[in-house]
């Protein structure tokens, strides 16, 4: 994977955990932050810096993606310009480690290994995992793999429409870490540890591991409305934002009680303790919150491929879209506090099945390695 947010890391960890549980000790499994761990640090840092910039400028990102859809796979050509810079690192890794199979959750990793395999006719079984649930960008159109896993029939149909080889495609539900469901503390304990009132409804706000987004402006609106509400705001790695939220809204005598936190390893317990969640529509966070059966309020998408996640949740009445509009967020929160929106979402969750594909993917990889 490449640790540019949780979207690429989480599926890798989910499959690793599933393999270790269903067939413990059978395989040596390593999860790599690929370019960084291979030693190609300059390119890795530049890539992550660019992606962080694009997350901060979603309209620019969407404009680039729209242009790419119209003009063809421009992004793929751009990425291919960097293959020579990473090729020697990938070659050395394949020669030294001799992996039997690579499960790649980032298109550039897939491109790099596919490039070495094609050029030198060496390398492992290559399995690409499309980390978007329902859609994909042009740089995910990668045919030089042995197997290509997607999380929905919608994504499969879109690849087939572009003449992707049918025999390489496999559909499994989105993988969620098995450890994500290990809840060590109940709701009361979690809220008590944060100094929050268990008798109030609780909103979890998390807009990505980098803390990107207009969190401050959105929370300020809730505070001004004086909602009887707990707000747990996870600022991710953005320590400046965490301090600002704590300074401006952290007073314990406010009607709306705000607790600002940094990056959280056990975000699952915060989701468990919350009544509803205000999140960015990335695939990993969306599917984790859905797996916990919590009503969702969506922030605006960072890229076009996240929009179908919003559509899926809203159409199935599992949540609502507020975007970057404080007034809209306030209206939805007010509705939830009145009980009506929450009850509708609870009924909707009873009518839908949210599956976890981690075990099925793990068994699939095992069959491949066994030659079946």
What pLDDT does residue 73 have?
62
Q: How does DSSP assign 36-89, residue by residue?
A: HHHT-HHHHHHHHHHHHHHHH-HHHHHHHHHHHHHH-SHHHHHHHTTHHHHHHH
Q: Characterize 219-242 residue by residue with b for buried, 16 or more Cβ atoms within 10 angstroms of its Cβ, and e for exposed.
A: bbbbbebebebbbbbbbbebeebb
DSSP at 171: E
- Token pair, residue 349, equals 């969750």
Crossing angle for the helix pair 58-71 and 41-56, to the nearest 10 degrees: 110
Answer yes or no: are the C-beta atoms of 43 and 109 closer than 8 Å: no
The H or E element containing residue 6 is helix 6-22
What CATH architecture does domain 182-350 belong to?
A: 3-Layer(aba) Sandwich (3.40)
Taking the chain (372 residues) in runs of 10, the rounded mean pLDDT of each run is: 87 97 96 95 89 79 74 66 88 94 95 92 93 87 94 95 94 96 93 93 82 77 94 88 88 86 90 96 94 96 91 96 94 91 92 96 97 83
| Exposure string for 319-334, b = 16+ CB within 10 A, e = fewer | bbbbeebbebbbebbe
Sign of the dihedral defined by the CA atoms of residues 86, 59, 320, 204, in that order: positive
Residue 90, classified by CB atoms within 10 Å of its CB into exposed (0-12), middle (13-18) or buried (19+), is buried
Domain covering 6-175+356-369, topology: Rossmann fold (3.40.50)
CATH 3.40.50.2000 placement within the chain: 182-350
Note the pTM of the prediction, 2 decimals.
Answer: 0.91
């Amino acid at each position: 994977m490449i640790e540019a947010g949780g979207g690429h890391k989480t599926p890798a960890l989910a499959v690793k955990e599933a393999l270790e549980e269903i067939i413990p000790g059978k395989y040596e499994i390593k999860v790599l932050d690929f370019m960084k761990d291979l030693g190609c640090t300059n390119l890795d840092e530049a890539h992550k810096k660019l992606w962080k910039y694009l997350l901060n400028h979603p309209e620019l990102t969407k404009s680039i993606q729209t242009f790419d859809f119209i003009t063809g796979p421009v992004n793929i050509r751009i990425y291919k310009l960097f293959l020579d810079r990473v090729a020697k690192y990938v070659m050395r890794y394949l020669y030294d480690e001799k992996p039997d199979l690579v499960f790649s959750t980032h298109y550039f990793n897939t491109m790099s290994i596919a490039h070495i395999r094609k050029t030198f006719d060496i390398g492992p079984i290559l399995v690409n995992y499309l980390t978007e649930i329902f859609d994909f960008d042009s740089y995910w159109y990668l045919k030089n793999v042995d197997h290509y896993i997607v999380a929905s029939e919608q994504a499969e149909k879109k690849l087939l429409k572009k003449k992707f080889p049918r025999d390489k495609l496999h559909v499994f539900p989105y993988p969620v870490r098995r450890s994500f469901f290990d809840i060590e503390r109940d709701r009361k304990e979690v809220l008590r540890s944060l100094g929050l009132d268990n008798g109030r409804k609780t909103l979890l706000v998390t807009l990505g591991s980098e803390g990107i987004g207009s969190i401050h402006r959105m929370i300020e609106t809730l505070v001004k409305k004086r909602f009887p509400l707990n707000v747990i705001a996870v600022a991710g790695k953005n320590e400046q934002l965490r301090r600002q939220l704590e300074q401006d809204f952290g007073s314990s005598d406010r009607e709306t009680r705000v607790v600002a936190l940094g990056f959280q390893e056990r975000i699952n317990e915060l989701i468990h303790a919350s009544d509803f969640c205000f999140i960015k529509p990335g695939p990993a966070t969306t599917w984790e919150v859905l797996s916990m059966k919590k009503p969702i309020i969506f922030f605006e998408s960072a890229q076009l491929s996240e929009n179908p996640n919003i559509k899926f949740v809203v159409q199935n009445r599992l949540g609502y879209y507020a975007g970057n509009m404080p007034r809209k967020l306030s209206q939805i929160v007010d509705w939830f506090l009145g009980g009506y929106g929450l009850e509708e979402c609870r009924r909707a969750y009873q009518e839908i099945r949210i599956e976890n594909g981690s075990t099925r993917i793990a068994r699939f990889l095992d069959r491949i390695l066994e030659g079946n």
